[in-house]
Amino acid sequence: MKASPLAQAEIPMLRLSSFYFAYYAALGAFTPYWGVYLKARGHDAAAISILMSLWYATRIFAPSTWSTLASRSAHPIRWLRIGCLSTALSFAVFIVPLDFTGLFLAMCVFCFVYNAVMPQFEAITLSHLVGRSERYGRIRVWGSIGFVLVVALFGLLLDRLGETTLPWLMLPLFAGLCVSSWFNDYGSGQSEAPAGKHGGFAARLKRPEVAAFFGVAFLMQICFGPYYTFYSIYLDEHGYSTSSLGIYWSIGVVLEILVFAGSGWILRRWHAAWVLLVSVLAAAVRWAMVALFADSAVLMALAQATHALSFAAFFAASMQFLAIFFPGRQNGHAQGVFYGFSSGVGGVLGALLSGWVWERSGGEMAFLLASAVAVLACVVVWVWLRPARLQCMGSGVDK
């Protein structure tokens, strides 16, 4: 049997990879060090948790807003470029020292546009991978490479130059994102796919296995709340230097790179649901280790190593689910829901809940709570998304 024309089309690996590299390189500076930067500006844990929660709050509506605007446009790629340019311009405001109110307003704008572009680009990437979604990891891995390079480099630079120089160091990364956006466009898989036996987008959302998948993504984002908001501060409180923070963040992402690079091989041999289950189990173990063994450098390194499973394997399996549950143009809307509900609503709850627990019971309790949430996600995967259950439902999710 001949492969379909879409499956035979050449994949623009370099162009797609360059966008992931630039986007996640900037995120590699923002995620580990922005909380440290805010602390250096004199803000306490409560203020930092509120400001960082804006990163997740804007994910609730930014992806869906952007995907709607793009879908109604005759030239949807323009919205990607507008978003990237707006990201760079809004971030430039942070060069000016701002009080809490100024930071709050600036964060609202910056986080909105920065969060808007990646779900749209995920749909662009998958439009080039119709029938070959398992190759997603080979492209996405360049985001992880960009992330780990910047985490390691910026840890050293901030040690020498001081945390308050972070906005200046990050501006060139956003300039690179703008450049990459001009060299990318949708693939032929963007054309509307037939509704199929499961119906249109709304009908697919109502299917129990789809709702369970989004529920797991939601719980996973909640359990990452303490990590994304306070992990660097947590290690700092346990005596780790700023440069060592970069090393610990890098450990996880280096191994994440290996998982993304090998995700095609993994997903051809194991059902995406089993990969999902292993990833949430790894998250439960990881957060328990962080909570209980923070003073052990070796065990902290081991906990970070599980990032390869708790993040990379989870994300690769999630893209596989989304590609099959929502084909064609439906995928753009699905990416908006995925980012908006999980990273948006789940991220806000994770950041705020971790800040609330942190203030009252400390970092150890915040990470123990994260472990408990990951255990709940394991239960949902086992009950609703294990392969036998999916086959009974006729979901069509294969290896």
Q: How many CB atoms lie within 10 A of CB 270?
A: 15
Cα gap 111→104, rounded to integer Å: 10
pLDDT for res 279: 96
**What CA–CA distance (Å, rounded) separates 296 from 378?**
27
- Which residue type sits at 49? S
Q: pLDDT digits over 140-180, tens only? A: 999 989 988 898 899 889 989 988 999 999 999 999 999 99
Contact 219, 346 (CB under 8 A): yes
Residues listed for the chain: 399
- Prediction pTM value: 0.78
Q: Do 284 and 380 contact (CB within 8 A), yes or no?
A: no
> For residue 272, how far is the Cα from the chain centroid?
18
Whole-number pLDDT of residue 68:
79
Give the residue with greater pLDDT, 123 vs 2: 123
Q: Residues near 265 by Cβ (< 8 Å), separated by ≥ 6?
A: none
pLDDT at 394: 60
Position 195 confidence tier, pLDDT thresholds 50, 70, 90? very low
Q: Which of 5-9, 47-51, 182-186 has the highest mean pLDDT?
A: 182-186
**Segments making up each domain of the chain, as ranges:** 11-393
Collapsing DSSP to helix, strand or coil, 10 comes out as coil
Q: What is the pLDDT of residues 315-328, one digit of tens each?
A: 999 998 998 888 77
Q: Which of 368, 375, 385 is nearest to 317 (CA)?
A: 385
Which overall architecture, per CATH, does domain 11-393 show?
Up-down Bundle (1.20)
141, 260 Cβ separation under 8 angstroms: yes
The radius of gyration of the chain's CA atoms, rounded to the nearest angstrom, is 20
Task: Single out the residue of 333, 238, 354 nearest to residue 292, CA to CA.
Answer: 238
